[in-house]
Structure 1
């Protein structure tokens, strides 16, 4: 069915199917393609495609291109799902840049392209977003606390929430006091990713590495990508990868004091915890098997929390003395990490 859909809609023969992370893809001749569900409105898509073209003009290598179907449509139904087809670049990657260097190049090249689509414009809005999400978790907490029958997940949520609430409030306080988000220059925003981490870019073969997919692009401060990459490294307890990334990134871009403060706020904000709670309580009772998976994820998150905070704290102590002289981070506070 997949192969027939691809030929009927695009006139392409599927010579070999691939799995690129969570997405299906295929090879047709010597070209590689990947299908992605169409989740955003078309106005989002056209902005992201415009960013992709501008980045290519600026010399950023290996950016995937949208393929329209034989009727000229961007969105096509494949296997019963509305999807977008992207083609990997045909040329080899001769840039010689590492992942961190390429990200720095993207950030520098993408400055100032402010979208008119609000959902893609995240720059300067972290505090609002974080407050909204924490308020939602507080509502879940009140609901769960009033239940007569509580699951093991519920019990863990009630037990851990005060600690993670404290972490979130600390992150938001830091965002204001040290990051000065409300005074950010309008010229520092650039093309970022929804959630960047090492290996976020796709690889078809050794010649077509670090392929960037436009659907992951958002407009934000570069601290977003740097912070999320470090979050992943510290959650995986991979200090070598974190160091390698930072060294590579700073070869292309210096990290200024305010940017370090914003990175610190992102690392302190318990995004992984918040996302897991949202996923569980928004979809509660819909799939028993998924609940078991989420319980296992919860246990893993709690097991690595102390190690994560140790790695994150050391990173900030190493950088803040040179950035803000460490006063905010090192002075006594009425909270527990």
Structure 2
């Protein structure tokens, strides 16, 4: 890799290290990230390039930007895979900041992106994307039922899928009702978001914005995924701080009822269940144990997740006498394990 970077960019690399999941290196004045991009089409990568350029023009101090090869290419090849080289300011640690306020400001800038986004766009597509995912897993579930004997993971998936199918269909219906009953406001226009906004996407150690993590979507995507990740992996923070993250966000950008309902529909959709089941069946034998543990944790937490959804709905309605987020009446009726 060092040799390829010297050849393609004329940059001498002394030592490669790791930042989050990406290889990286430093020169006296700059910090570089080596990003795998084989999963992107050329059109999608070009859109991400323009987004990063735009945010740099908006004086976002943490955005990383694409560096072209000597031949004027966005990508380079190494051992049969495509990569891009991104340049950023060196990471700053121990910086105190509010994730909610920082994300609201990032979304505010992203809404001003002046070009049409097609390949990296997800806005307005949730219903179709969720529908395809539901249909695929339901067809797979039907096959599994007909194919005994089953591994322990198969049995758990077979038994749990009808519940998560019901939750998924509720999410789709909630989304459809939101789009029929409510009107988007100015702040509901598309913006630069993340594929998955997690707790560690932005932290004092990882403030760099990486275009390979982005999609163009409604801001509710990031808000919902951050809350979901907090529930799944940082339960103590959720208990101690509640929905403080949303309050920080709303100090910069108040959320419309449309935003809140969109966010709630996304939390209703059990993406964590789908990703775990799908991940298990496409993983190698050595990786399967991770997905087995994940599924056990999700199933044990199903009652608490319903409780989390109920509390979220109550808190989002609390500020107003008006019901912003209609309740899903059957949630929380079961026992909390």
Q: TM-score, normalised by structure 1?
A: 0.86
Equivalent position to 2:308, from 304, 308, 311? 311
Q: Distance in 1 between matches of 2:85 and 2:55?
A: 20
Give the CA deviation at 1:34. Answer: 1.0
CA distance in 2, matches of 1:106, 1:181: 28
**Distance between the aligned counterparts of 1:161 and 1:15, measured in 2?**
50
Q: Is the 8 A contact 2:310 2:331 kept in 1?
A: no
The 1-side partners of 2:207 and 2:126 are apart by 28
Aligned counterparts, 1:123-272, within 5 A: 123-178=123-178, 180=180, 184=184, 188-201=189-202, 210-236=207-233, 237=235, 238-239=237-238, 240=240, 243-272=243-272
2:49 aligned with 1:49: yes
Q: How far is 1:9 from its partner?
A: 2.6
Of 273, 282, 289, the residue aligned with 1:292 is 289
Alpha-carbon distance change, 31 to 242 in structure 1, aligned in 2, over 3 angstroms: farther
Q: Which residue of 2 aligns with 1:87?
A: 87
1:13, 1:144 → 2: CA distance?
Answer: 53
Shift of 1:54: 1.9
Residue deviations 1:226-258, cap 9 Å, x none? 111111111121314663422321221111111
Equivalent pairs counted in the alignment come to: 328
- Kindly indicate whether residue 113 of structure 2 is the aligned counterpart of residue 108 of structure 1: no
Q: CA deviation at 1:173?
A: 1.5
Q: Which residue of 2 aligns with 1:120?
A: 120
SS in 1 for 2:199: coil
CA distance in structure 2 between the aligned counterparts of 1:37 and 1:48, rounded to whole angstroms: 14
1:268-323: CA deviation from partner (whole Å, max 9, x where unpaired):
10001111222233x2xx62222233212211222333333322321211113546
Q: Distance in 2 between matches of 1:134 and 1:181?
A: 24
Cα separation, partners in 2 of 1:147 and 1:90, compared to 1, 3 Å: closer
Alpha carbons 1:227, 1:263 under 8 Å: kept: yes
Distance 1:117 1:110, change over 3 A: closer
Structure 1 residue 35 displacement after superposition: 0.9
TM-score of the pair, normalised by structure 2? 0.86
> CA RMSD for the aligned pairs?
2.9
Gaps of 5+ in 2: none
Task: Give 5+ residue unaligned stretches, structure 1.
Answer: none
Decide whether aligned partners of structure 1 residues 275 and 330 sit closer, same or farther in structure 2, where only a CA change above 3 A counts: closer
